[in-house]
Amino acid sequence: MASLKNIFSSRAEKDEEFYYALKNILGFKPTNINIYLEAFTHRSMNTINGEGKPQNYERMEFLGDAMLGSVIAAHLFKKVPNGNEGYLTKMRSKVVSREHLNELGRDMKLIQMVKTSVPTAQFGENIHGNVFESLIGAIYLDKGFKSVEKFIHRRVIKPYVDIQKLEGKVISYKSLFIEWCQKNKKSFKFNVYEDNGKDPLKHFAVKLQLEKDIVAKARGTSKKKAEERAAKRAFYKLQKSMQFNGSQA
């Protein structure tokens, strides 16, 4: 049986590892480490605070989402003085898209810091973006809005927000495909069915039909993901012959 000394020593080492990994990501010293510990705690841990309330990253994720949206909105407002409301809204959506947030979370390897009782391999892709938003919420609670703003500018805006590239970025290939079909009076159908195979997670497969032909196939952990992947494949396969363009991006 492990001694109490070894148990506490092990915990201290883990807390120290977490602290320095966090400091490296943030670029500054965290003040209240407990806020960040909660920001990286998955609901599967069933952690409860002194008031009997659940402690996990979901509430901070909500807060971080709001903080991120406001900082990006302010940046675009200043950066593109001639952009109207519709343009600015679309551009912000591209920056804070789930796909982009997942990419940010993966780049920072945030999932390695998540405390969970469920194997991380069982999580869907959105865990990366969810934890990233939670981290932003934690920064706000620990340091305030100015620190959040500096972090987002350093970690998101400076390396990733290029106005010209964003203008050509497609948010949803499915929406683009559907709009093209409607505009050109072409029939289409997303035929979705369960296709789990040997995967531990539930999967769906989709066959995208254009008129009488199957133009793309794809799989995903949700119907939405499978349809989006099929539409993206159809987009790149048919963009020349069908004259797709980025005007709806």
What distance in Å separates the CA atoms of residue 237 and residue 12, rounded to the nearest whole number? 54
What distance in Å separates the CA atoms of residue 189 and residue 208, rounded to the nearest whole number? 6
Q: Which of 100, 88, 234 is nearest to 175 (CA)?
A: 234
* Burial letters 95-121, b for 16+ CB under 10 A, else e: bbeeebbbbbbeebebbebbbbeeeee
- Residue 141: count other Cβ atoms within 10 Å of its Cβ: 18
For residue 81, the 8-state DSSP code is T
- State the catalytic residues: 65, 133
Place of tokens 């302010």: 74
- Phi, psi for residue 40 in degrees, rounded to 5: -115, 20
CA distances from 197 to 68, 121, 164, 205, 218 (A): 38, 16, 41, 11, 14
The burial class, CB within 10 Å (0-12 / 13-18 / 19+), for 56 is buried
